[in-house]
Amino acid sequence: MTDLIVSRRDRCSTWTLNRPGVRNALDPGLVEALTAALPEEERLGTEVVVLRGEGPSFCAGADLKFLQTYGADPSHTPRAFLASIWDLTLAMERSSVVFVAALHGHAIAGGMELALACDIVLAATGTLIGDGHVRNNLLPGGGASARMERAIGRATATWMALSGRSLTAEDPRLAVWLHEVVPAQKLSEATDRVVEQLLGVPASARRHYKQLINADQQALTTSDRDRELDAFEQHWSSEDVPAALRTFLAGNRKAS
């Protein structure tokens, strides 16, 4: 099964995360597929990419089963994998392609981090959106600490980060970030309408305006990436996070 389904129509592509059995959790294969898809879209002149998820969720974060295969030894951590997620999101922000995220089900941890790197975000009502890392004794490794406050404001970002709690898409605290919240059955229609509106303006003006917006926001860099990953790695090793993940996953297996 292909981890990422890419479909193209005119000047727009749709990227569908295709690991529905694990709520499209991010693993190296999926991240590599996303990373490889972007330069191909730029080569083809794609102007808009819609990012969506197959099955019950958009993306529930990093694949915890994959993460727990690492040890607490500082020489054996998932830093390189997390750096690949960071590098993907930096490339999305720097690209002339406009990214539209269509969220449903869950957009948690790494799923929210993917959405935070998109230019426009829509969501189905009832979608659970959150940082969630601390609930599994984790720190973010895909950009939440650098992007969440920019998107949703300091008060809400701090609460979501430190409590690990999620909000539903229709919560007014997310209104500053989400372009539109619609019933699930209308999400595709709303997304198509947004794409049509984006493609209705001159591509060069849209491309230059995106660059201007990112420059005005002091675009994130690899220094921001390394700051977050340094903190992740230090916490991972000092708290023996892999042991906590193994306990959590074993408990889930017993409950299922």
CATH number at residue 51: 3.90.226.10
pLDDT of residue 255: 42
Q: Could you tell me which residues are beta bridge partners of residue 62?
A: 26
Please state the domain count of the chain: 1
Number of CB atoms found within 10 A of residue 71's CB: 15
Tokens of 172: 């007014």
Number of CB atoms found within 10 A of residue 211's CB: 14
Q: Which of 92-96, 214-218, 237-241 has the lowest mean pLDDT?
A: 214-218
Number of CB atoms found within 10 A of residue 80's CB: 9
Mean pLDDT, residues 192-208 taken together: 97
- Per-residue pLDDT band for 256 (boundaries 50, 70, 90) equals very low
Tokens of 167: 């909000």
For residues 60, 64, 65 and 69, what is the CA-based torsion angle, rounded to 10 degrees?
150
Instruction: List the domain range (segments joined by +) for residue 19.
Output: 4-255
Q: Could you tell me which residues are beta bridge partners of residue 123?
A: 103, 181
pLDDT of 254 > 70? The answer is no
pLDDT of residue 253: 60
pLDDT of residue 173: 98
